[in-house]
Chains A and B, each alone.
Chain A
Amino acid sequence: MTTVLEIRNLHVSVANKQILNGVNLTVKQGEVHALMGPNGTGKSTLAYALMGHPHYTVTAGQVIFKGADLLELKPDERARLGLFLAFQYPVAIPGVSVANFLRTSINARRRAANAEDKGMPIPEFRKMLKSKMELLKVSADFAGRYLNEGFSGGEKKRAEILQMATLEPEIAVLDETDSGLDIDALRVVADGVNALMGPKMGALVITHYQRLLNYIKPQFVHIMLGGKIVESGGPDLALHLEEKGYDWVREKYEDKVEAK
């Protein structure tokens, strides 16, 4: 059965401020959706709310993931169900190496599925990690470094995708994974994402730049404004935005979205 993430009329507030005002969006396994929109319109808010960040309060609406009420689940349960978020600003975790972190994440999943599970054997884990690191052209010392600590902007983004590659989600939200990447890194990361894409994974790719969409080709492009998806279309919509900017969107929907 195809995995479906269905967002219905989602309203989210943070710090008593209403940010999302009724988002509707359905992402299926095998599909790539791009989400674009001016700064501060609520794209990351949507990503956090989907993952269950405690500061983001859902005030109305529903999210159905694999037939389950996603909003009832804790963040770790959402993750284990197959949802993944590549953070726009990943936090540094002092003292925890990338390898150790990934192994613990994988084993937590295995143990949740089977309480008796002894965890992935170390040689198997090493082999798996090595192949994923090669896929993303990450240097070997990466695995031993503390997660995100002292990582450059680009390294942080690669680390996020490395996590995605090892955890093999069914639906992934990539929040500005392209920002901070140089041209070469962008290609490597995009190739990595494409290698993981396919019938088994669907993605919601949040980005400001058409550039990324040259590599990761979306079937659907959505524009968010004032906490709502106001325009949806095919790949052409992104090209149009690149050319024209957001003014026409603002003009068209000014009165339809609540004044900020």
Chain B
Amino acid sequence: MTPDVKIAPIKRVIITTRKTEEPKLASLNFTEADVKALSKIKKDPTWLAKRRLDAWKKFASLPMPTLNDEAWRRTDLRSFKWNDVQLSALDSKFKPKRVPATYLKPLVGKEQGGQLVINAGKIESGGTASALKRKGVIFTDLLTAAAKHPTLVKKFMGKAVAASEGKFAALTEAMMENGIFLYVPKKVEVTLPLHSIISVSGSSRFHRILVVLEEGASVTYVHELVSSDNKEKTLHTQIVELLVGKNANLKFVELQSLGMSAWNFTHERARVGKDGKLDWIFSAAGSHLTKNFSEIDLDGDGAWGRMSGFYFAEGDQHLDHDTQQNHNAPHTTSDLLFKGALRDQSRSVWQGMIHVAPGAQKTDGYQANRNLVLSKAARADSIPGLEIMADDVRCTHGATVGQLEEEHIFYLMSRGMPRSEAEKVLVDGFFDPIMQRIAFEGVITRLKKQILQKMSESGSGE
């Protein structure tokens, strides 16, 4: 709510060497034998089993991130008990609760082209309209896709996020128990939105989402991540890959509604081809801790990408979003707006980078992060960054951390609203620009409900 503060560009330094004197960190108890056992029960094709093992080796070779790593400087993992984590995928007796019906309601429009529910790594329900199937659209769980469409999955998996990108990317590739595969063939326009829900439970869950739009394809896809138990300390890691072909158009809504005790690590990247369009919407209301890397690579001339983020942290939540907008080709446009509110002792980190590659002339990059801190003990860190290697570009950014203003509260109260109501209205108003960008009624209703719930929990957060 404070005016736009222009912050001088900050070059991100990535520290790759590690200090040797660091105390030995607790680590996961998983072994290569676990990876093999997982391959076996998931009936992996040979190529997938091999990829898991390669990823496992990568995982073992990478150190656990610490506060000394630039990207992890503000996110402390020391209190997490890695050695307590069990590989829930191997627990054959595990019986998850069914995903509540409230999550199954469409969030975009009234009708859907397909819905998939994955619960504890297995398909709980799912279906794709036969009209879409006839057009060659594939919308299924990743294991089924790997078995039925190996050429496609093999061709695209890992094209956006490599296992070598980080400890948790490697872990996800090695331990992936399921996920979503969405494939839209050339020139196919999917008019009805698709919807998937992944529910996590148990000690650990690992998922991967792969979305491929061939040239000229278009689709709106909503994905929600939920926990079956708000108090369960589940480790969740995830890879999300979005491959948007030439002239293709993807609207992707990604809702993180995990339970308040989950620890969540994700690597996500979209690649957008020539004149392709990606409208990427994030929300983060859940998890005890999230570290998310989300990147958009504008690979083709004229590619366009928009990222809109909503987060609301409470209690001792810690939400860390690391975004990167990579302009790899000329005439590309990126537009990022992340808005977050914080109460209690919660903390958020947003670290964003616009990178313009040499030769990516006539690009237009924008990033803004706005934070509303609702209590004295909450804290928001906002770190924008620009890295520009071309000379004919326009890049702007802004970052603000503000509080509710007494004058605003008084004005609303003078019209008869009690203070708590006035604060709610102002918080809603703060988020309105993000809601405008989201535009889907059902998604907005879901987020507003989360805001209301977070605003009404025990006191004003002071």
Using a CB–CB cutoff of 8 Å, the interface residues on chain A facing chain B are 51-54, 74-76, 78-80, 84-85, 87, 90-91, 93-96, 100-101, 104-105, 108-109, 112, 146, 163, 167
Contact = CB atoms under 8 A, between A and B. Distances in A.
B417 A91 contact: no
Contacts of A109: 416
A93 B429 contact: yes
A146 B428 CA distance: 12
A104 B421 contact: yes
A89 to B, nearest CB: 10
A104 B425 CA distance: 8
B429 A74 contact: no
A101 B408 CA distance: 12
A167 B415 CA distance: 8
Given A94-B429, A95-B432, A96-B432, A54 B416 contact: no
B429 A112 contact: no
Contacts of B1: 94
Contacts of A146: 429, 432
Nearest to A87: B411
B372 to A, nearest CB: 11
Contacts of B388: none
A194 B314 CA distance: 49
Please give me the 4 A-B residue pairs with the lowest Cβ-Cβ distance, nearest first.
Answer: A95-B429, A95-B432, A96-B429, A79-B416
Contacts of B433: 95
Given A87-B411, A93-B425, A101-B412, 18 more contacts: A51-B410, A52-B414, A53-B410, A54-B410, A75-B414, A76-B413, A76-B414, A79-B415, A80-B416, A91-B408, A91-B411, A93-B426, A95-B429, A104-B421, A108-B417, A112-B416, A112-B418, A167-B415
A80 B406 CA distance: 20
A33 B436 CA distance: 44
B462 interface: no
Task: Give the residue among A51, A95, A167 with the most B Cβ atoms within 10 A.
Answer: A95
Contacts of B418: 74, 76, 108, 112
A230 to B, nearest CB: 28
Contacts of A96: 425-426, 428-429, 432
Contacts of A112: 416, 418
B82 interface: no
A80 B416 CA distance: 5
Given A76-B419, A167-B416, A54 B429 contact: no
Contacts of A87: 411
Contacts of B430: 94-95
Nearest to A96: B429
A75 B408 CA distance: 13
A148 to B, nearest CB: 9
B407 to A, nearest CB: 5
Contacts of B415: 76, 79, 101, 105, 108, 163, 167
A100 B431 CA distance: 14
A215 B431 CA distance: 42
A75 B413 contact: yes
B71 to A, nearest CB: 32
Interface residues on B, range: 20 to 34
Contacts of A54: 406, 410
Contacts of B431: 95
17 contacts: A75-B410, A76-B413, A79-B413, A85-B414, A87-B411, A90-B411, A91-B405, A94-B430, A95-B433, A96-B425, A96-B426, A96-B428, A96-B429, A101-B412, A101-B425, A105-B416, A146-B432
A74 B416 CA distance: 10
A96 B426 CA distance: 7
A96 B413 CA distance: 14
Nearest to B1: A94
A76 B416 CA distance: 4
Nearest to B417: A108
B299 to A, nearest CB: 35
A47 to B, nearest CB: 10
Nearest to A109: B416
A5 to B, nearest CB: 15
Interface string B426-455: 101111110000000000000000000000
A213 B451 CA distance: 47
Contact of B411 (A78, A80, A93, A167): A93
A109 B418 CA distance: 9
A93 B412 contact: yes
A112 B421 CA distance: 12
Contacts of A105: 412, 415-417
B373 to A, nearest CB: 16
A70 to B, nearest CB: 13
Contacts of A75: 410, 413-414
Contacts of A108: 415-418, 421
A150 B208 CA distance: 45
Nearest to A105: B415
A48 to B, nearest CB: 9
Given A54-B406, A93-B408, A104-B421, A79 B429 contact: no
Contacts of B408: 91, 93
A112 B416 CA distance: 9
Contacts of A91: 405, 407-408, 411
A100 B426 CA distance: 11
A74 to B, nearest CB: 7
Nearest to A163: B415
Interface string B392-425: 0000000000000111101111111111011001
Interface string B305-330: 00000000000000000000000000
Contacts of B428: 95-96
B445 to A, nearest CB: 15
Contacts of A90: 411
B94 to A, nearest CB: 44
B241 to A, nearest CB: 34
